[in-house]
Amino acid sequence: MESKTFILWDGDLKQTISVEATRSGKEWKAICPKHEDHKPSLSIDEGKGVYHCFGCGWAGKLYKPLKKEKKRIVATYDYVDEEGNLLFQVVRYEPKNFKVRRKDKNGKWLYNLDGIEPILYRLPELIKSDGMVFVTEGEKDADNLRSFGFTVTTAPFGAKKWREEFNKFFIGREVIILPDYDTPGIEHAITIAKSLDGKARSVRIVDPRSLNLGEKEDITNWIEKGGTREELLSIISQESSFLNWQEKQKELQKGKVHELLRKGDEHYDQEIVTAQDYRDGILSYGAIWNETKVLIKSNKVLEERDEVKFISSNLDSKTVRRFLEGEGVNGSDLVKRLGNLIRDHIFFKDQRVPILIAFWLLGTYFFEIFNFYGYLWIVSPTIRCGKSLLLDLLSQLAFNSTGRLVNPSVASIFRLIAHNKATIVLDEVERLRNEDKEEFSALMAVLNGGFQKNSIVTRIEKTKGGFTPINFPVYSPKVLAGINRVSDTIEDRSFKIEMTRKTKSERIQRLHLAKEGKEFQRLRSDMFLWALLYASEVAEVYEGLDEIEAISSLNDREKDVWEPLLSIALVVDETSISNFFDTLVSLALDMSKRNSEKNIMEEAIPNFISLVDEMFPTDKKQYFISSNDLYQQVQNDENLSFITSKKSLANFIQKLGLFPSRMRIGSSIMRGYLFERDWVEDLRKRYV
């Protein structure tokens, strides 16, 4: 009997467990390590990558560490325009994976679709034909069915990728859809049928059971089993071979919305906070459905939960229905829409920053899957740099955002996080520096620990029995904005977003928050939907991250901050047409380099102040020194050795707020620096 060792991921213990299993049909059976199991009750589905014990209910996913596997190309599928010109190519790899690529003007392959709109597969053949046309779920199915002499097409990138602009090629045509035999396949077929209804002459979906397909099988499997052209024509000549897709849609909706609406099961304890939760590979949200508090879960289950604790939720019933009806969201398009909204209305010198913010916003909708979630620290050196507008956008789009808070009570922040898993948006955080720890110790305790999962802050609360210590969770996404520095600890936990005032020649669009309400709602809805569809895949990538070679130069804290966003980017790139991962990596490396340079500079400031002190006459409030003399003094101090030229000296001093000036000394006019005692003392307070 065939046997195999499997490595299981224990989500509760956050560790791996190995079991020896034997094949049992399509699955594997093993002795469950979680209870006294004499007869193998642990079932392992290698294809789905999951396991479940029918004895004790233990369930989870197989452990898949993220590592670069050697992939080989097994097929390529050309997408050509109406004239037969190659626009792009879908590449199929083994182990199973897909990528899209196009050629640049020099014939080099570029793995993106920048500037190219997706089209239907074998479009010229579809246009030239005038009879019956089949629609399959993938290119392999289309090619196999085409070998029978039929006109066949498919949309690129698999299920849930149908676009409205495809419909014009089916006007007046007889369309037969051949779905894969699984729920996503049926839902995808219904999506196409709905889109073509009223445009095509007829739209019918073949019932997979009429082809005797097994679960997850498709038309390729049927052909490989010996199916012929004549048999297929015979099957589709019988009306009983087709699904009543309108009724099937209602059936799916009813099954998911009504039959699956049930009382919460014992698997979830009664004290669970349900604004957002992730456990056993399932993401769930608290929501209101027909005036009833429910949990909507990523496995398409609704549970009635009277004890739901969330205060409010921006997950609406329309979004819930979109999810239950099988609607999809393109991750690449979603990130681009978020990034463009930010870029169109707020000026950034670095055009990668809006993409970073877009991924951060998307991640707030499933931050519970990560061990760490970095803060956004927005720094504005002066007014009219766009800080307030960016805060307004983040408040509109982030998961359960509090809106802009100025000097909120710490108690309110505790409860907003505990009950609502809220994204906290703090404005005017001017006093969260190292020297303010005592005055703002409670708030800083929330921020110091609140970027790490399971972090708590204990407070003494008045209860009926007296005063009782209460543990409050403080982990949630947070936005901090101001014009001054924050503490070193908070800075280490943050993405630093430096705002810059635009020039008159740099144009941005004016944002009318009230007019953008529908777009904000659509973006929130799409982020909820993408999270429900792909959070488990992001979690699998994140849990399997051992080391991303591209960011190996980052320190451990920087990796903690960046790995969640990079995990999201990997999944977006795998499921869409994009290369956001490389964009974020390049930004991470550049931001790390700037931080390193800043640290060197800040470590040098006390030495520079001491140097100026030694030169400063004790009886004067001002002291002028020429650039040449100051540079010579700096050269003699080994702690300032990074200053290697007069230009680097000028740059260093400018960052401290002092600029060179000219002064007449005797008969000569000299260029140098006028130091003032108050300026030196201010630096000493800030940096020493």
On the 0-12 / 13-18 / 19+ scale of CB atoms within 10 A, 69 is exposed
**pLDDT of 317:** 80
Q: Is the separation of the CB atoms in 601 and 655 below 8 Å?
A: yes
Q: Of all helices (H) and strands (E), which one includes residue 263?
A: strand 262-263
pLDDT digits over 601-636, tens only? 667 788 888 888 888 888 888 888 888 888 888 888
Angle subtended at Cα 44 by Cα 41 and Cα 48, rounded to the nearest 5 degrees: 150
Range 461-471 average pLDDT:
75
pLDDT digits over 586-599, tens only? 999 888 877 765 66
Q: Could you give the percent of the chain with pLDDT greater than 90?
A: 30
- Of the candidates 577, 572, 578, 643, the one whose C-alpha atom is nearest the C-alpha of residue 607 is 643
| CB neighbour list of residue 402: distance below 8 Å, 6 or more residues apart | 395, 408, 416, 422, 423, 424, 425
Q: For residue 470, is pLDDT > 80? A: no
User: Whole-angstrom distance between the N-terminal and C-terminal Cα of the chain?
Assistant: 72
Q: For residue 25, is pLDDT > 80? A: no
Listed range (23-32, 300-309, 455-464) with the worst mean pLDDT: 300-309
Name the pairing type of β-strands 478-482 and 423-427.
Answer: parallel
Q: Is the separation of the CB atoms in 590 and 598 below 8 Å?
A: no
Cα 126 to Cα 155: distance, rounded to the nearest angstrom: 12
Q: Of all helices (H) and strands (E), which one includes residue 289?
A: strand 282-289
Best-predicted range by mean pLDDT among 5-9, 294-298, 360-364? Answer: 360-364
Listed range (74-83, 170-179, 477-486, 516-525) with the worst mean pLDDT: 477-486
Listed range (81-95, 134-148, 194-208, 312-326) with the worst mean pLDDT: 312-326
**pLDDT of 258:** 41
Cα 393 to Cα 338: distance, rounded to the nearest angstrom: 10
Q: For residue 394, is pLDDT > 90? A: yes
Cα 266 to Cα 575: distance, rounded to the nearest angstrom: 34
Which pair of structure tokens corresponds to residue 248? 């099937």
State how far the alpha carbon of 601 is from the alpha carbons of 597, 607, 654, in Å: 6, 10, 12
**pLDDT of 357:** 96
Q: Is the separation of the CB atoms in 528 and 319 below 8 Å?
A: yes
Listed range (94-98, 314-318, 344-348) with the worst mean pLDDT: 94-98
Range 239-251 average pLDDT:
77
Q: Is the separation of the CB atoms in 490 and 447 below 8 Å?
A: yes
Given pLDDT bands bounded at 50, 70 and 90, which one contains residue 380? confident
Q: For residue 85, is pLDDT > 90? A: yes
DSSP state of 180: -
Given pLDDT bands bounded at 50, 70 and 90, which one contains residue 268? very low
Q: For residue 501, is pLDDT > 70? A: yes
Asked if the bond preceding 95 is cis, omega within 30° of 0, the reply is yes
Given pLDDT bands bounded at 50, 70 and 90, which one contains residue 255? very low
Collapse the DSSP code of 62 into the 3-class scheme (helix H, G, I; strand E, B; otherwise coil) and give the result: strand
Tell the residue number behind the tokens 């209910």, with chain if given. 57
Residue 60 CB neighbours (<10 A): 18
The strand pairing partners of 675, in sequence order, are: 623
Listed range (86-95, 251-260, 271-280, 333-342) with the worst mean pLDDT: 251-260
Angle subtended at Cα 547 by Cα 545 and Cα 550, rounded to the nearest 5 degrees: 115
Range 521-533 average pLDDT:
94
Range 421-442 average pLDDT:
68
Q: Is the separation of the CB atoms in 287 and 294 below 8 Å?
A: yes
Q: Is the separation of the CB atoms in 474 and 417 below 8 Å?
A: yes
Given pLDDT bands bounded at 50, 70 and 90, which one contains residue 259? very low
Cα 325 to Cα 257: distance, rounded to the nearest angstrom: 9
- Of the candidates 499, 507, 513, the one whose C-alpha atom is nearest the C-alpha of residue 386 is 499
Q: Is the separation of the CB atoms in 475 and 455 below 8 Å?
A: yes
Range 270-279 average pLDDT:
68
Q: Is the separation of the CB atoms in 119 and 84 below 8 Å?
A: no
Cα 423 to Cα 412: distance, rounded to the nearest angstrom: 13
Collapse the DSSP code of 67 into the 3-class scheme (helix H, G, I; strand E, B; otherwise coil) and give the result: coil
Higher pLDDT, 499 or 166: 166
Helices and strands in the chain: count of H runs, count of E runs? 19, 30
Range 651-657 average pLDDT:
80
Q: Which amino acid is at 71?
A: K
Cα 5 to Cα 21: distance, rounded to the nearest angstrom: 6
CA dihedral 460, 463, 465, 468 (to 10 degrees): -20
Mean model confidence pLDDT for the chain = 83
Higher pLDDT, 475 or 577: 475
Higher pLDDT, 142 or 507: 142
**pLDDT of 269:** 40
Q: For residue 253, is pLDDT > 70? A: no
Range 183-211 average pLDDT:
89
Residue 454 phi/psi, 5° resolution? 70, 10
Order across the sheet with 375-379: list the strands: 401-406, 423-427, 478-482, 375-379, 494-498
| CB neighbour list of residue 412: distance below 8 Å, 6 or more residues apart | none
Angle subtended at Cα 489 by Cα 488 and Cα 494, rounded to the nearest 5 degrees: 95
Which pair of structure tokens corresponds to residue 274? 């349900």
Which pair of structure tokens corresponds to residue 541? 């990538």
Order across the sheet with 292-297: list the strands: 262-263, 301-304, 292-297, 282-289, 276-279
Q: For residue 261, is pLDDT > 60? A: no
Asked whether the CA dihedral 450, 452, 454, 455 is positive or negative, the reply is: negative
Q: Is the separation of the CB atoms in 555 and 561 below 8 Å?
A: no
Q: Of all helices (H) and strands (E), which one includes residue 585?
A: helix 580-615
Cα 388 to Cα 410: distance, rounded to the nearest angstrom: 22
DSSP state of 365: G
Q: Is the separation of the CB atoms in 112 and 577 below 8 Å?
A: yes
Q: Against a cut of 0.75, is the pTM above it?
A: no
DSSP class per residue in 431-494: T-SGGGTTTTHHHHHHHHHTTBTT-EEEEEEEETTEEEEEEEE--S-EEEEESS---HHHHHTE
pLDDT digits over 208-244, tens only? 999 998 888 999 999 999 999 999 999 999 988 898 8
Residue 487 phi/psi, 5° resolution? -65, 155
Q: For residue 567, is pLDDT > 90? A: yes
**pLDDT of 425:** 93
| CB neighbour list of residue 231: distance below 8 Å, 6 or more residues apart | none
**pLDDT of 148:** 94
Cα 296 to Cα 283: distance, rounded to the nearest angstrom: 8
Given pLDDT bands bounded at 50, 70 and 90, which one contains residue 397? very high
Higher pLDDT, 519 or 3: 519
Residue 313 CB neighbours (<10 A): 21
Q: Of all helices (H) and strands (E), which one includes residue 177?
A: strand 174-177
Write down all domains in the chain, each with its CATH number in brackets: 3-62 (3.90.580.10), 118-247 (3.40.1360.10), 260-324 (no CATH), 331-578 (3.40.50.300), 596-687 (1.10.10)
DSSP class per residue in 216-238: T--HHHHHHTT--HHHHHHHHTS
Q: Could you give the percent of the chain with pLDDT greater than 70?
A: 87
